Structure 1
């Protein structure tokens, strides 16, 4: 009888599904220390042979990121406004099929949405120790206004960084800019231009968005910036302007926002 009861108990345990992996508390993989700044940190041991993604969802809108193997933690923005978010960690099963391995709810409540765009995140990654941040501080140490800071950093980026045609022709699908690499090589594609400009501005406390989408100025998917100063967001395109500057054309730093169609903000 005892053996029968043991067998029944084991069968019941087998039939009742174990709690899903994503039902675990968020603390073991999701760093919420900086939600008050508009970001989350994801900690996960990514295997080299398994693509692992983070999906950040708010209502019908979502952003999906590929995690980097070997990184202890990567930071991502909550850029879709105040409210309730779902953060999901997914591992590739095969092809386009992924399984959920973690999931958690996060609530954002910021007084100023622009503060999201002051942070280092995966694709606008900077620190006080970065060479780009040091250059930004040096360029702006005599600036009296935010406008003067923006102009100084803009002149540096458009006057120093050149478009990398070789990288553009062979850019990996998972390419993420490295701002200090861009500074060292003095070249990059539009994604790198926009990441560098945003990072340098953020390092001197000016909110700056990295924007992706399309524009009348180029015929491929593009990256540019929106920068917050004088109480408004201003569209600036350092990639286009660097090319125009090199060719001796006349242009203005501020661009007509109606000539750009944004798809993603970072």
Structure 2
């Protein structure tokens, strides 16, 4: 688990870059601006202007200020800071630090009280337009020079007081010293206070390989690490804590302490949505394999019958070239269902069903184990989990498509209609499907002996290859039954001293069993499959079936 370093130094070294939003200037804007300029000039004429004094340290470094020139003055929202260093030195930290404290009473918002700029020193000069962002009122501005000996140490250059006559509130993005040194630059959002619903988009550039995002509202805090590719990032950040102001910090790696992050940039988001969500839970493997969920982005979503899941996989991570599918498992109480989502060009995008009726489901995302060992089962590794509340009206567990059972496929439906033509009852339709699967399919002894199971084993694959083991018979039979709205389920258990699967079908209010695999033929003592249709395994009595079959459960 990552550790997070939020030292007092990191907290105080908050910085800011300027973004200007250009809009068409109306005559009203020009008049208003002229009035504000006149108001500032009148205040300056009314009070004596005392020359700004520099500290002894500033004088020792040969610093002079071209702007501002006075210790106390009024302005229309902007202060131009410009200085020169006449005794050039190689400072360990190449930034001038400016801290602006709002002393007025009109703006009560905490996030408007203090603001920081880190201004680069270039060619022994520094220059920046400082915005007084909290609106009308008094401000204290402190300018600090870097130490000429110790990195990240600053000494006061000067300080002055400013009266802002402009009531406009204009929050900018704040860049910390570490953010500046990491060349962190946001293109989205463009402002330090934005209004949006549920999500906020962040994109930009940085010279680091990862970025940590911290979301805070009151005492509630969430953090997540994001990968940076080729110096760029583009992510949607969930606003988890309902309506109101969320603080968003972008944190950069602390190269002094491995696994630590320090603040790089800061902005605020006003969320207009009242919906409260929970964070998705990620495992260590999620980051190691470069998994990136693009939907969902938070836990606690609402849905009806189906839900979309999508994401990408980092091709540069070891072993990811072998991931050709991801697995989604839904849990509602003790009930579980599994769905396979194919991966194409390191992207997955599919839907899964809430088959067990209304309620809250836990959803787990898995990736397959990269082991090449053949087994008669699949091994998966969890990477993320989240919750979704479904408002579906009914329990459709035995009617919906499921893993390997493409009952919604037109080819399956047309085949089922053709095979059951003339059958008037569900019982007779089930018998015709049993007969078709048992006589069409051939048992695959090679697959049995070598455990050559594949993630894409399915009803369609059984139909194409016309051979398989018990699961493949069952996939096809159930897919055909469900396509005709006949409830049916995949039964697992043991038969013939090995793992086995067969079908249960609901006819009216009763369930009957059918085993099209055993109805297809038998295996001789020397291991050869003999094709021989047997009708005894359609709707056998429980006593007859229990002699050879042991039921252990139902799989969805």
TM-score clears 0.5: yes
Secondary structure of 1:238's counterpart equals coil
The within-5 A match list for 1:211-250 is 211=491, 213-215=492-494, 217-243=495-521, 246-247=531-532
Secondary structure of 2:398's counterpart equals helix
Q: Which moved more, 1:84-93 or 1:147-156?
A: 84-93
Name the structure with the higher helix share.
Answer: 1
Question: How far apart are the structure 1 equivalents of 2:433 and 2:302?
Answer: 30
Q: CA deviation at 1:165?
A: 0.8
Which residue does the alignment assign to 2:478? Answer: 198
Which residue does the alignment assign to 1:99? Answer: 383
Secondary structure of 1:89's counterpart equals strand
Task: Select the residue among 426, 436, 445 that pairs with 1:165.
Answer: 445
- CA 108–69 in structure 1, closer or farther in 2 if over 3 Å, else same: same
Task: Select the residue among 120, 129, 134 that pairs with 2:410.
Answer: 129
Which residue does the alignment assign to 1:253? Answer: 538
Question: How far apart are the structure 2 equivalents of 1:152 and 1:173?
Answer: 28
Question: How far apart are the structure 1 equivalents of 2:435 and 2:303?
Answer: 32
Task: Select the residue among 354, 357, 365 that pairs with 1:89.
Answer: 365
Unpaired segments of 5 or more residues in structure 1?
A: none
Question: How far apart are the structure 1 equivalents of 2:356 and 2:225?
Answer: 27
Q: CA deviation at 1:62?
A: 4.3
Q: CA deviation at 1:69?
A: 1.6
Question: How far apart are the structure 2 equivalents of 1:263 and 1:35?
Answer: 27
The within-5 A match list for 1:1-266 is 1-2=97-98, 5=116, 10=176, 16=214, 18-19=223-224, 24=238, 29=295, 35-36=304-305, 39-45=306-312, 48-50=321-323, 52-59=326-333, 62-63=336-337, 67-70=341-344, 73-80=349-356, 82-90=358-366, 98-100=382-384, 103-107=386-390, 109-111=392-394, 113=395, 115-130=396-411, 132-172=412-452, 174-211=454-491, 213-215=492-494, 217-243=495-521, 246-247=531-532, 251-255=536-540, 256=542, 259-266=549-556
CA contact (8 A) 2:515 2:537 kept: no
Residues 65-106 of structure 1: per-residue CA shift (max 9 Å, x gap)? 554322854444445565321113245799876432x62323
Secondary structure of 1:166's counterpart equals helix
Q: CA deviation at 1:118?
A: 2.0
- CA 34–200 in structure 1, closer or farther in 2 if over 3 Å, else same: farther
**Aligned-pair Cα RMSD in Å:** 4.0
Query: Taking structure 2 as the reference length, what is the TM-score of the superposition?
Result: 0.39
Q: Which has the higher contact order (CA 8 A, sep 6+)?
A: 1
CA contact (8 A) 2:407 2:413 kept: yes
Q: CA deviation at 1:206?
A: 0.8
Which residue does the alignment assign to 2:273? Answer: none
Question: How far apart are the structure 1 equivalents of 2:443 and 2:552?
Answer: 21
Name the structure with the higher strand share.
Answer: 2
Question: How far apart are the structure 1 equivalents of 2:311 and 2:359?
Answer: 25
- CA 250–19 in structure 1, closer or farther in 2 if over 3 Å, else same: closer
Secondary structure of 2:330's counterpart equals strand
Q: Based on CA coordinates, which of the two structures has the bigger radius of gyration?
A: 2
CA contact (8 A) 1:57 1:87 kept: yes
- CA 167–15 in structure 1, closer or farther in 2 if over 3 Å, else same: closer
- CA 73–262 in structure 1, closer or farther in 2 if over 3 Å, else same: farther
CA contact (8 A) 1:92 1:99 kept: no
